[in-house]
């Protein structure tokens, strides 16, 4: 029997839980916890392709590079290179934890991480309007100081504090798609589309060139799920379910939504916060519109229960 393929997108904020858990050790432990839930899926018979966010991590890598340039005169790492570094660091933690967990359970399955580039349009209007939150959370006062002293663009992020924002163009093509498909075909647990992919543009002569941006990982993983005709797009984030009227007295947690309902709620604009839940719902909508059957949103610890229909929010084509 053909195995079912799931694209699992893990939130960057679920790998760095809060401002108090930013150390490598903390990130490693979060990756370890997530790896257990993914191996549960593998044990349940899923072929899994894992994508991950990098918002907090890429912001810290960029800030370190800026400080190193300012204080020690070291050469600056541009944002695409910071994105590549984040794929390496998060990919390493996921690969090793998945390998350890598979071994503990006696499952003989290889794991590989693909350094992946995603092509964006150099004329994407997003380059003029930064929207992607990166790095840690700040108070409004701290954010204003950073804006003033270091030229950061800062915004309030979904009621959770202030963050630096950078350009986030839409993903158009996955450069390493054939390699990813070959790994899935070979039954290898694959990690790719880290941080939505390293953003690159295609020049007129066909050459690729990195650009300063951070792609939305839910959009990038939705694109992969469409390209490989995945059976499931699973978005693993910090909440067990999606709510309508989120953060209001009328808040209602949803067990399921149809594609049409998801589109209607998104259009209303008041249910899903931009920069957090709204892009996840949009990513699911694009997957289902392209023929995908089901998209699931839940938190890492409830992945198993959600796949059995006991929790999470399942979005289906009809």
Ligand X SMILES: Nc1ncnc2c1ncn2[C@@H]1O[C@H](COP(=O)(O)OP(=O)(O)O)[C@@H](O)[C@H]1O
Ligand Y SMILES: NC(=O)OP(=O)(O)O
The footprint of ligand Y (CB under 6 A) covers: 11-13, 53-55, 195-196, 214, 216-217
CB of 152 to ligand X, least distance (A): 19
Phi, psi of 204 (to 5 degrees): -60, -30
Q: In terms of DSSP H, where are the helices of 50-78?
A: 55-72
Tell me, rounded to whole angstroms, the distance of Cα 186 from its chain centroid: 24
DSSP structure string for 100-138: HHHHHTT----EEE---EEE--TT-GGGGS--EEEEEEE
Catalytic member of 11, 13, 194, 302: 13
Residue 166, binding choice from ligand Y, ligand X, none, Cβ under 5 to 8 Å by partner class: none
Residue 217 a catalytic site member: yes
Q: Report strand pairing: 189-191 vs 294-298.
A: unpaired
Residue 70 a catalytic site member: no
Catalytic member of 36, 97, 135, 217: 217
Residue 199, binding choice from ligand X, ligand Y, none, Cβ under 5 to 8 Å by partner class: none
Q: What is d(CA 64, CA 134) in angstroms, rounded to the nearest whole number?
A: 13
CB of 218 to ligand Y, least distance (A): 6
Catalytic member of 36, 132, 146, 241: 132
Residue 194, binding choice from ligand X, ligand Y, none, Cβ under 5 to 8 Å by partner class: none
CB of 202 to ligand Y, least distance (A): 20
Catalytic member of 280, 299, 302, 312: 280
Report the phi/psi class of residue 269: left, alpha or beta, with left for phi > 0 and alpha for psi in -120 to 50: left
Residue 304 a catalytic site member: no
Q: What is d(CA 210, CA 192) in angstroms, rounded to the nearest whole number?
A: 17
Task: Yes or no: say if 154 and 14 are a contact pair by the CB < 8 Å rule.
Answer: no
Q: In angstroms, what CA-CA distances link 150 with 63, 115, 129, 145?
A: 10, 30, 18, 8
Residue 112, binding choice from ligand X, ligand Y, none, Cβ under 5 to 8 Å by partner class: none
Residue 13 a catalytic site member: yes
Residue 238, binding choice from ligand Y, ligand X, none, Cβ under 5 to 8 Å by partner class: ligand X
Tokens found for residue 122: 């150099």
CB closer to ligand Y out of 53 and 292: 53
CB closer to ligand X out of 250 and 310: 250
Query: What one-character DSSP code corresponds to residue 158?
Result: T
CB of 160 to ligand X, least distance (A): 7
Site residues for ligand X per CB under 6 A: 11-14, 53, 158, 237-239, 242-243, 246, 271-273, 276-277
Q: 51 pairs with which residues across the strands?
A: 9
Residue 132 a catalytic site member: yes
Phi, psi of 120 (to 5 degrees): -120, 165
CB of 158 to ligand X, least distance (A): 5
Strand boundaries in the chain, DSSP class E: 4-10, 46-52, 111-113, 117-119, 132-138, 154-156, 162-166, 173-174, 189-191, 198-202, 208-210, 232-236, 242-244, 252-254, 256-258, 294-298, 313-316
Residue 196, binding choice from ligand Y, ligand X, none, Cβ under 5 to 8 Å by partner class: ligand Y
CB of 173 to ligand X, least distance (A): 22
Q: Report strand pairing: 313-316 vs 252-254.
A: unpaired
Task: Yes or no: say if 130 and 165 are a contact pair by the CB < 8 Å rule.
Answer: yes
Query: Would you name the residues annotated as active-site residues?
Result: 12-13, 132, 217, 280
């Amino acid at each position: 029997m053909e195995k079912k393929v799931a694209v699992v997108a893990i939130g960057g904020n679920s790998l760095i839980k809060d401002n108090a858990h930013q150390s490598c050790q903390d990130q490693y432990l979060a990756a370890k916890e997530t790896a257990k839930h993914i191996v549960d899926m593998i044990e349940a018979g899923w072929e899994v392709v894992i994508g991950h966010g990098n918002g907090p991590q890429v912001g810290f890598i960029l800030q370190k590079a800026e400080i190193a340039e300012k204080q020690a005169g070291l050469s600056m790492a541009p944002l695409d290179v910071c994105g590549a570094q984040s794929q390496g660091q998060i990919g390493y933690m996921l690969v090793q934890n998945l390998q350890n967990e598979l071994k503990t359970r006696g499952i003989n399955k290889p794991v590989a991480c693909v350094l992946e580039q995603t092509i964006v349009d150099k004329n994407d209007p997003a380059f003029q309007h930064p929207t992607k939150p990166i790095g840690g959370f700040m108070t409004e006062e701290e954010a204003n100081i950073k804006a003033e002293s270091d030229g950061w663009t800062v915004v309030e992020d979904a009621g959770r504090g202030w963050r630096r924002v950078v350009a986030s163009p839409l993903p158009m093509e996955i450069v390493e798609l054939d390699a990813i498909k070959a790994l899935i075909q070979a039954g290898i647990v694959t990690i790719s589309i880290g941080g939505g992919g390293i953003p690159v543009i295609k020049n007129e002569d066909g050459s690729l060139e990195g650009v300063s941006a951070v792609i939305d990982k839910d959009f990038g993983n939705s694109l992969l799920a469409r390209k490989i005709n995945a059976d499931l797009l699973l978005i693993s984030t910090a909440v067990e379910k999606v709510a309508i009227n989120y953060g209001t007295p009328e808040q209602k947690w949803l067990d399921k939504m149809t594609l049409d309902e998801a589109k209607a709620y998104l259009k209303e604009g008041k249910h899903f916060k931009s920069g957090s839940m709204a892009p996840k719902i949009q990513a699911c909508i694009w997957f289902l519109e392209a023929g995908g059957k089901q998209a699931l949103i839940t938190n890492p610890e409830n992945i198993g229960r959600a796949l059995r229909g006991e929790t999470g929010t399942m979005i289906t084509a009809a």
